Structure 1
Amino acid sequence: ARVAAARPRRASSRAPASSRRATTTSAISKNDADAAPPPSRRDVLLAAAATAATLASSAPSPARADAPTSVVAFEGVANERWTKVPVAVSLPSAWQSRPGQRAKQTKFMMYTDTYGPNYRYTDALPKFVDADGGVVADFIACSVQSRGGQESVTDLGPIGNVDAKVAFGVDVEDIALAETAGSNVRKDAGKQTYYEWDLDVPNGSKVLLSACISGGGLYVLSIAASEAQWKRAGEELKRTRASFAVPVAAESTTDISNRIYNNASAGGFK
């Protein structure tokens, strides 16, 4: 019940606003109805504008940049040619991993040298679904491989000279035919520099990449999404890439053989 209905009403030549409604009720007397003037064009326009504003406020809003996020760490690799550092991204808190899904690490042997096989390791996060149960991406993964002697991704040369679609071993169908839709150089608060690319694959899927070098390792975040997934979560996926964080670290001065096999002491060295 409205409080106003219990109060005495002053006599007026104009009906109160609460009685000028599209639905007529028995609470409005004949005299009140006769006294109410027909709504002006201005009143009609104002009412229409108010209705439109109400509908707009109830419509689903796009993903907000300030939506809650959760930090997710990649496992990383110890005892390799590079210094292990903590690597992480921030994902929307509303995303949940699909039941039965778990993170998985794989390795690919690129070549063999004096120190043995040289691997590229890839840590793939489980597939995630949003609050509506829709899968947001085909994969979100981070790879690392040796890049000894280089301290920054800028040591690879200008970003325009890097052929991102084939340089990092990202496994997406027809990625070699992808078009570069955009690229960017980003520097975070820790003074780490990242090269970023947006790739359009002929089948309609999107690939987002971010690469940096730290501690003698080349780290690459890769995100692949189908056309439908991109429409669903494209903005969140871009923010996920922008959250990719790899601290700056110096390359280890320990002999590579000892880093991998921990055998320096066997040769009489401490």
Structure 2
Amino acid sequence: MAELTCLAQPSPLHLRLRTAATPSSLSPSRRAAATPVFAASARKQDDASASSAGAPMSTIPPVAPVTRRAVVALPAMAALVASLAASPANAIIPTTAVAGRVPGLSEPDENGLRTYKRPASKSGGHGVGWSELIPYTFNVPDTWEETPVSIADLGGTEIDLRFASKAQGKLFIVVAPVLRFADGLGDNVKIESVGDPERVITAFGPEITGENVEGRVNDTKVVTKGGRTYYEYDVDPHILVSATAAGNRMYIMGVAASGRQWKKYSSELKDILTSFRVG
């Protein structure tokens, strides 16, 4: 099965998209990704022993010795309490992931599909220092699961998300600065400004498939969803790609399958791709 990859450094093919326009003074605000830190501590008090000894209810129970772990947890607990106290009563407080549930992933609908919407607090493989991303959404069957992504991801720091299904295939989302592809496009880029479908797939195709895509693009579509243009591709062997631009970034979904997976689930894989939307 074709392995989906995205190199951290631009390939020479990207240079073909460089325009003669004056480079834009893009300076998106760099805000550190605020990943909430939640600490929890529990203290057990043995009231049964005091009760059996006939101790009055007002008796102060023995104080457990302060452990190093409790001391380390104090700053995080204090910060959490302060943030809760400062928040309005109806504010939505970020929470840690519930066991068995992927943050951003809805419950399955009547067709067994879940909708994924990128959480604002997600850092993907980018680490800290990236400005806020425009959220994207897509649908996956209930059997698909998110797989870990970090700054050490072999696909590079522009990998934002990975999902996989042992039975059906896998997908990834790449979020890359538009300056990787062309200069002087500003902060509200449309993919039409980056290039036509052939030019775009020629530029980033090798990063997705691991080799030149010339002669391997079976089908190309230009579709509009929610007023935004998307380029969609069917690339050998069994790789689907959807690309668009929003803000000052390119958003790219890649879906891949083995020959056996494609033969059985190509329709489901195409549905995943066409469900991809940004904003």
> What is the TM-score normalised by the length of structure 1?
0.50
How far 1:166 sits from its partner (Å)?
4.7
Structure 2 residue corresponding to 1:157, chosen from 182, 195, 198: 195
Tell me which residue corresponds to 1:236.
268
Which has the larger share of strand? 1
Q: Which letter does structure 2 place at the counterpart of 1:103? A: P
Higher relative contact order (CA 8 A, sep 6+): 2
CA deviation vs aligned residue, 1:182-223 (integer Å, no higher than 9, x gap): 00011112x1111111101xxxx3111111111101110011
Residues 208 and 254, structure 2, Cα contact 8 Å, conserved in 1: no
CA deviation vs aligned residue, 1:65-87 (integer Å, no higher than 9, x gap): x9341112344568656641111
Structure 1 pair 231–160 and aligned structure 2 pair: CA distance change class (3 A): same
Counterpart of 2:209 in 1: which secondary structure? coil
How far 1:173 sits from its partner (Å)?
4.7
> Runs (4+) of structure 1 moved beyond 6 Å?
none
Match runs of 1:113-262 below 5 Å: 120-129=157-166, 135-137=167-169, 139-148=170-179, 149=186, 151-162=189-200, 164=201, 166-167=203-204, 170-174=207-211, 176=213, 179-189=216-226, 191-200=227-236, 205-247=237-279
Q: Which letter does structure 2 place at the counterpart of 1:70? A: R
Q: Which letter does structure 2 place at the counterpart of 1:199? A: V
Structure 1 pair 108–96 and aligned structure 2 pair: CA distance change class (3 A): closer
CA–CA separation in structure 2 for the residues paired with 1:103 and 1:88: 18
CA–CA separation in structure 1 for the residues paired with 2:256 and 2:202: 12
How far 1:96 sits from its partner (Å)?
4.0
Q: Are 2:141 and 1:92 aligned?
A: yes
Tell me which residue corresponds to 1:104.
149
**Contiguous gaps of at least 5 residues in structure 1:** 1-65, 110-118, 130-134, 248-270
Structure 1 pair 232–185 and aligned structure 2 pair: CA distance change class (3 A): same
* Paired residues, number: 158
> What is the TM-score normalised by the length of structure 2?
0.49
CA–CA separation in structure 2 for the residues paired with 1:184 and 1:82: 30
**Contiguous gaps of at least 5 residues in structure 2:** 1-109, 180-185
